[in-house]
Amino acid sequence: MAQRTDVFDLAALGLTPGEGRRLDLVVGLDPLDFGGETYAPEALVPARLEVSKMTGGGYALRLAFAVVLSGPCQRCLEAATPRVEVDAREVDQPGGGEELRSPYIDDGELDLAAWARDAYALALPTQVVCREDCAGLCPECGVSLNEDPGHAHEREPDPRWAKLRELRFE
């Protein structure tokens, strides 16, 4: 696989205003802590970067990639491998005001590693599960309800009935 790209030199593309380029790159991602667990993404991920030079100067960018995470299911703790799809856009227009500056672009250089990391963190699901309908663990004894769907506990008898049973009728 190709080398990972951490910083991409946009200026070196030599685009003229209105011109665009589509590039296949490799981004690097680090493991992350999420909900008290550590999740490891694939270390090297193929990514598609689209660069357009805007007619008024500056760049419009789009970054897309998909990554498979591995770590424990947050319901049943078995291995989970959710696929996370990332599709992010950035605009950087010098002179266009604060909101039109991208934090990832500085002087024609794109901080691809930082952008990929942030876009990926935003695309994470709210909960990592091994499968959508994971039944999780029994809250009383911790048994996996995926493996034992009929699992149930005898209801504790009402203590008032226990008292009644102690009574003896002669």
Residues that bind Zn ion (CB under 5 A): 73, 75-76, 130, 134, 138, 140-141, 143
Joined tokens for residue 96: 């266009």
Between residues 86 and 134, which has the closer beta carbon with respect to Zn ion?
A: 134
Q: What is the Cα–Cα distance from 113 to 83, expressed in whole angstroms? A: 19
* Residue whose CB is less far from Zn ion, 52 or 146: 146
Ranges of beta strands (E only) in the chain are 7-9, 20-28, 32-34, 37-41, 44-53, 59-72, 79-80, 83-92, 105-106, 109-111
- Distance in Å, CB of 78 to Zn ion, minimum: 5
Residue 168 makes CB contacts below 8 A (sequence gap 6+) with none
At closest approach, how far in Å is the CB of 40 from Zn ion?
17
- Report in angstroms how near the CB of residue 79 gets to Zn ion at its nearest: 9
From the list 4, 1, 2, 3, the residue with the least C-alpha distance to 113 is 4
Q: Which is nearer to Zn ion, 74 or 102 (CB)?
A: 74
Query: Which of 140/154 has CB closer to Zn ion?
Result: 140
Shortest CB 58 distance to Zn ion, Å: 45
